[in-house]
Amino acid sequence: MIEFVEVSKDFRNFLPPRTTHALEGLTVTIERGEVFGIAGPNGAGKTTMLALALGFLEPTRGTVRIDGERPRRHVEKAGVAYVSELVSIPNWWTVTGALMRYSVLAGVEQCDRARMVHEAIERLGLEEHRSKRIKQLSKGNLQRLGITQALLSDSDLVVLDEPTHGLDPLWTQRFRDIVTDLRREDRAIMIASHNLDELERLADRVAILDRGSLSRIAGSHHAVSGEILRYRLVLAGEHESVEAMFPGAQRIDNARQVAYDVSGDIEDLNARLERFLAEGGRVQAFFPAQSRLEVAFREAVGEE
């Protein structure tokens, strides 16, 4: 659906003369039905990549196409459900007023507008703020309003730039549910985020950008047989055979619980866990100590 072919974007400054290479030779295709994550340190080019997809920027070199069209043309024809990192809405508008306006622009039929706005307000928990002016909203509520306006359109492309920026943990979780609901066979979803955990939960693939270049694309997040990863094993009580059962297990000293970091292939670890439980060991939790995406990210940006 979205194709970036050898895309580079330079920003030129005249005083003082300086050129910043925001993106360099990016080639990637995002398909319908996919949730595509974009990760990277600050200044890696995540927002630039999304701005190119929306046609808010033109590439310096290379091409960006959405269904074979220039992004701007596609957006003007079909629209995009877009949440920007910084939610900018005129501060004298009210919450309901802003959503009614965006619904008009999104092409929602007049007879459906009030209902759709009402439902979107309820879904994002903005009922008590519906009459407030934008300037009266907290950062988190403003971010929720940004998400709400994106939900008003039934676009086949969803572009989310740091969508959980400023959201509390409860709404961050609800936002994940919303993205899960947005998944559709004919829809592509792009999410740029600093939050690797969020991307790991939501995205099918994650592009890791570093200083404007695509370092790698991390794929499926299911552990693959043969891959050595680090997991945390939390026990319900002390057990003498842990270290014998899991060679190389490292006790986590500062934890207020009995916990170990163990490494290994998932098949092997499952077999060991089975034996451990059979010998009377009691496991409280077993989860990745470091996500695969985090590992990929650290490798991609050159950090151990």
Name the residue type at position 68: G
* Residue 109 vs 185, nearer CB to another protein: 109
Q: Do residues 103 and 116 lie in contact, with contact meaning Cβ atoms separated by under 8 Å?
A: yes
Our CB check for another protein shows the closer of 79 and 288 to be 79
Q: Which stretch binds another protein (CB under 8 A): 79-87, 181-189, 196-204, 213-221?
A: 79-87
> Strands 258-264, 229-235: parallel, antiparallel or unpaired by DSSP?
antiparallel
Instruction: Answer yes or no whether residue 164 interacts with another protein by CB under 8 A.
Output: no
Amino acid occupying residue 66: I
CB of 195 to another protein, least distance (A): 21
* Stretch of residues binding another protein (CB under 8 A), selected from 80-88, 242-250, 264-272, 279-287: 80-88
Assigned token pair, 298: 């650290």
Binding of residue 76 to another protein (CB under 8 A): yes
> Which CB atom, from 11 or from 241, has the smaller least distance to another protein?
11
Query: Closest distance between another protein and the C-beta of residue 147, in Å?
Result: 11
Quick check: 141 binds another protein (CB under 8 A)? no
Residues 6+ apart with CB under 8 A from 246: 233, 260, 262, 264, 269, 272, 276
Options 97-105, 203-211, 265-273, 275-283: segment touching another protein (CB under 8 A):
97-105
| Binding segment toward another protein, per CB under 8 A, in 89-97, 166-174, 184-192, 217-225 | 89-97
Residue of the chain from 25, 79, 125, 219 that contacts another protein (CB under 8 A)? 79
* Contact pick of 61, 77, 184, 275 for another protein (by CB under 8 A): 77
What's the closest the beta carbon of residue 108 comes to another protein, in angstroms?
9
CB of 3 to another protein, least distance (A): 19
For residues 31 to 60, the per-residue mask of contacts with another protein, x marking binding by CB under 8 A and - elsewhere, is -----------------x--x--xxxxx--
* Residue 82 interacts with another protein (CB under 8 A): yes or no: yes
What gap in Å lies between CA 171 and CA 58, rounded to an integer? 34
CA distance 284 to 255: 14
CA 106 to chain centre: 24
Please give the Cα distance from 300 to 208 (Å, whole number): 7
Of the candidates 35, 44, 49, 80, which one interacts with another protein according to CB under 8 A? 80
| Farthest CA pair distance, the chain | 72
**In the block, which residue shows the tokens 């439980």?**
277
Three-state DSSP string of 62-108: EEEEECCECHHHHHHHHCCEEECCCCCCCCCCEHHHHHHHHHHHCCC
Q: Residue 9: exposed, middle, or buried by beta-carbon count in 10 A (0-12, 13-18, 19+)?
A: buried
Which chain residues interact with another protein by CB under 8 A? Answer: 11, 20, 22, 48, 51, 54-58, 72, 75-82, 84, 86, 88-90, 92, 101-102, 104-107, 110, 146, 149-150, 153, 159
